[in-house]
Amino acid sequence: MEHTDGIDKGQITLYALSTCVWCGRVKSLLQDLGVAYDYVYVDNLVGDAREQTMEEIKRWNPRCSFPSLVINNSQCIIGFEEKKIREAIG
């Protein structure tokens, strides 16, 4: 998992694929908003790390689609939903 510094708006974790255009757009939006967040490119993980991460994603998004953005362990925004992301982060 990688970390990007910024304004602390709580725990924000982006589960993404390194080749996914929509994942990149969510990441760019978070950078534009200037918030601190963690992200992981699931396709770059192997073995147990990948398995554990997929189990974590399933808790929030049973379809395991990307991007999956988990905010404060209370909600998950699936896909590039700019309005929802802006509202959730403030």
pLDDT tens-place string over residues 4-36? 999 999 999 999 999 999 999 999 999 999 999
CB distance 67 to 15 below 8 Å = yes
Task: Give the model's pLDDT for residue 90.
Answer: 79
Residue 47 pLDDT = 97
Compute the distance between CA of residue 54 and CA of residue 70 in angstroms, rounded to an integer.
13
Q: 3-state class of 29 per DSSP?
A: helix
Terminal-residue alpha carbon distance, the chain: 24
* CATH of 2-89 among 3.40.30.10, 3.90.70.10, 1.10.3720.10, 3.10.620.30: 3.40.30.10
Q: Which two tokens stand for residue 64?
A: 């395991």
Looking only at the bridges linking them, the beta strands covering 37-41 and 12-16 are: parallel
pLDDT at 58 over 90: yes
- As beta bridge partners, residue 78 has 68
pLDDT band at 59, cuts 50/70/90?
Answer: very high
Q: What is the domain partition of the chain in residue ranges?
A: 2-89
